[in-house]
Amino acid sequence: DEQCRFQYGTSSRQCKYGEVCRELWCLSKSNRCVTNSIPAAEGTLCQTGSIEKGWCYQGECVAFGTW
């Protein structure tokens, strides 16, 4: 949510849409999910269908302890 607030303002938060490590989607002031087509920052926590707890590394969600 901090990354979204930095980009779109204090009321913005992350939308649960797409793969955050490839493209961060945020809720805008108009209550729509928007993106600047940039990934979340390295080290951002992430989750996928096969990874319960991971973090973003080089545009991919990787499980903790894999690198």
**C-alpha of 62 from chain center:** 13
pLDDT in tens, 17-66: 889 999 999 999 899 999 999 999 999 999 999 999 999 999 999 999 87
Structure pTM? 0.82
DSSP class of 39: P
Question: Domain limits of the chain?
Answer: 2-63
Contact between 34 and 8 under an 8 Å Cβ cutoff? The reply is yes
pLDDT at 67: 62
Q: What is the DSSP string of 8-53?
A: H-TT--B---S-TTT--EEE-TTS-EEE-S-PPPTT-EE--SS-SS
